[in-house]
Amino acid sequence: MKLPPFDYVCPTTLSEAVALLAGHDDAKLLAGGQSLMPMLAFRLAAPGLLVDLRKLEDLRRIKIADDGIVLGAMVRWCDIQADARLRTAHPLLVAAVEHVAHYQIRNRGTIGGSIAHADPAAEIPGIALTCEAGIATVGKSGARVIPASKFFLGPLMTALEPDEIIVEIRLPAWPAARRWGFQEFARRRGDFAMAGAAIWYDQDGQGRARDAHVGVIGVADRPQRLSKVEAVLNGCTIDEATIAQAEAAASAEVDPPEDIHASAAYRRALLGTMVERALRGAAGVAPANEG
Ligand SMILES: Cc1cc2nc3c(=O)[nH]c(=O)nc-3n(C[C@H](O)[C@H](O)[C@H](O)COP(=O)(O)OP(=O)(O)OC[C@H]3O[C@@H](n4cnc5c(N)ncnc54)[C@H](O)[C@@H]3O)c2cc1C
């Protein structure tokens, strides 16, 4: 289907982009276009002006430091996959990106676009929540950092103001010894997940889990942390009994919607299985990333 008509600008500075966005009520940012273009084609959006971010080179940087990782909003999925440093600096992020869409889409789609689009089944909003990322923005009133826990408000709804641009995703540092697992189920590889789980925990001197973080996608109107499952894990060795308890707690804690793809009961059971498998991966008795 043909796109609706729109004007197009391609600013070369961030301040120019902010001014364009603030000066036009009907403007929309264009990053990789992999969500926005289908929205235009289906007439789900009809902006009068597209502000293309592709010339803002500062938004393409990946910085890895002792105090954390900073990903510019225009970092593409393929950039994350190609950066060998990230495989040790943040293996959970890299594992999740491997499940995002298909090769062609990963060559254009960006992390900032995905966070702004806020699809409830998308991997990286789930990782941002699970890893307590900060979403750094710039708008006409200045800069701010929005915690991921306050950013995702519903399906395709976020805490972004209309004139705000995401400039960076900030992830806390990742200790080398951290245990992690990522699992999702999609009908075809590259499709959005019907349910998925990202899990990490650190260990005390006796090998018991502490500071467990469990985030899930595809089972609510936004990514969700499962605090009851985290409570099951904290202080325990991740053995068969704990994994079974966590699986049951996960199925009980979510309240998934019913849709054309699956019943609520199916999704609840599936999510329990994703949590179980992710935990097995984290504990080292199965691959940490599968699906
Ligand atoms: C067939 C197909 C399969 C897909 N499968 C998956 C999948 O399995 N998992 C997944 O996560 N995604 C999937 N996607 C979506 C893909 O990952 C997109 O690339 C991503 O969601 C949006 O990134 P983008 O750079 O293309 O953003 P765009 O499409 O350009 O923009 C998306 C939205 O974000 C806004 N925006 C963009 N950048 C910024 C910014 N810096 N600040 C503020 N707002 C901004 C835009 O205005 C727009 O509203 C799929 C897409 C397709 C077409």
**Which tens digits make up the pLDDT trace of 51-82?**
999 999 999 999 999 999 999 999 999 999 99
pLDDT at residue 205 is higher than 90: yes
Q: Residue 291 — pLDDT band, cuts 50, 70, 90?
A: low
Nearest to 166 by CA among 69, 54, 265, 72: 72
DSSP H helical ranges for the chain: 14-23, 36-41, 77-82, 84-89, 91-97, 103-106, 111-117, 123-130, 148-151, 227-233, 240-253, 264-283
Does the beta carbon of 128 lie inside 6 Å of ligand 1?
A: no
Question: Quick check: 234 pLDDT over 80?
Answer: yes
Radius of gyration of the chain (CA): 19
pLDDT at 219: 97
- Tell me the CA–centroid distance for residue 78 and ligand 1, in Å: 14
Atom of ligand 1 nearest to the CA of 39: 29
Question: For ligand 1, is residue 272 a contact (CB within 6 Å)?
Answer: no
Please report the pLDDT score of residue 288 as a whole number: 66
**Residue with CA nearest ligand 1 atom 36:** 113
pLDDT given at position 2: 83
- 218 Cβ below 6 A of ligand 1: no
Indicate which atom in ligand 1 lies nearest the CA of residue 29. Answer: 47
- Looking at every residue in the chain, the average pLDDT score rounds to 96
Q: Taking the complete model, does pTM exceed 0.75, yes or no?
A: yes
